[in-house]
Structures are given as C-alpha cells and as structure tokens.
Amino acid sequence: MEASGVPIARWRLAATPDTSRRPDADPLSRARVLTIADRCWCCRSKVRGVVGVLVEMSAGQRFAPFADIAEALASSADPRTLAARGIGPLCHRDSPGIPGGYLSNGCLECDALIGRLALDDLLDEHLRNGGTYGQLDCGLGLELEIPATATFLQRAA
C-alpha cells in the first residue's frame, strides 16, 4: 500500500519521533540569531558578534543573551552558515579577564576573541537609543535546546 508515492511503512518510519535525543532533554525551541556589528580589536576588519537569540514562545518572543545559550548555539550552528553572515567561529577562547576563558565570538579574519562585555555594551547602547531586538536579526533561525526554567524567559523582547 502506498500513500503519496511512499510506502506506508517507510512513511511511518520517517514520522516516528527522534530517539537520538536524551529522553530528559529539554524540547527544541525555534530561535532567531541576533548579531551586532563592530570592528575587530586586532585586525580592524568588520565583525558581527552574536549577542543572543529571540526564542519563539506561545506568549511571544523572548530574548536570551549569548552567555545563557552559547553552548547550545555553538553546537547547533554550522560554522559555514555563520561565516556566510559575517559571524566568526563560536568556540572556547582564553581571555585575560576571565580565568580559564569562555565560549565566545571570534573574528572571521584573524579568530581573535570578540569580548562578551564589549558586545553587551553595544547591545545596551543599541537598546537605549531606541533600537529593538528585531533589528538585530541576522536572518538565521535555529532549533535550540533551551531549558524552560531559564531566567532569560522572563525578559520580553
């Protein structure tokens, strides 16, 4: 028996839920990646640093800062897709200000650390000057595993 040209057994197999994820894992949430433009401190090339994501929820969109979702974002975003949008690699880097370093944005040209504090300051300035989170959408949407109990879900977009 066939349905739309695909044997039903294969169709049912394709429709079964993904069992590769942990059963205790948080559900995937649709999120839009937000970036802000700056200059690399090392090579002075133009960079776009990820400042967070807008998570789509039933109550509307909520902002999640990069520090809260960095690991989920780095593991699910394809580096080539990021590079096509002018975003450097998201990986662990040493920082003189934070012992042991942290997961951070990097320059697309020289891979220098693009500091989280500098990007947070640029984001605050953007919002204080009447900008919105939506204006920072780089056009990249991802499915991220975001904890439902995270504190960022209280911040409205």
> Of residues 29 and 141, which shows the higher confidence score?
141
129, part of any domain: yes
73, part of any domain: yes
17, part of any domain: no
Number of domains observed in the structure of the chain: 1
Domain hosting residue 100, numbered range: 27-154
- Write the pLDDT tens digit of every residue in 49-88: 999 999 888 788 889 999 888 888 888 888 999 999 999 9
88, part of any domain: yes
- Write the pLDDT tens digit of every residue in 94-136: 878 788 888 999 999 999 989 888 999 999 999 999 999 999 9
Q: Is 58 exposed, middle or buried (0-12, 13-18, 19+ CB in 10 A)?
A: exposed
- pTM for the full predicted model: 0.74
92, part of any domain: yes
- Write the pLDDT tens digit of every residue in 6-34: 444 444 434 444 445 455 555 678 899 99
4, part of any domain: no
2, part of any domain: no
6, part of any domain: no
Q: Is 154 exposed, middle or buried (0-12, 13-18, 19+ CB in 10 A)?
A: exposed
Output the pLDDT for position 25. 54
Q: How many CB atoms lie within 10 A of CB 116?
A: 22
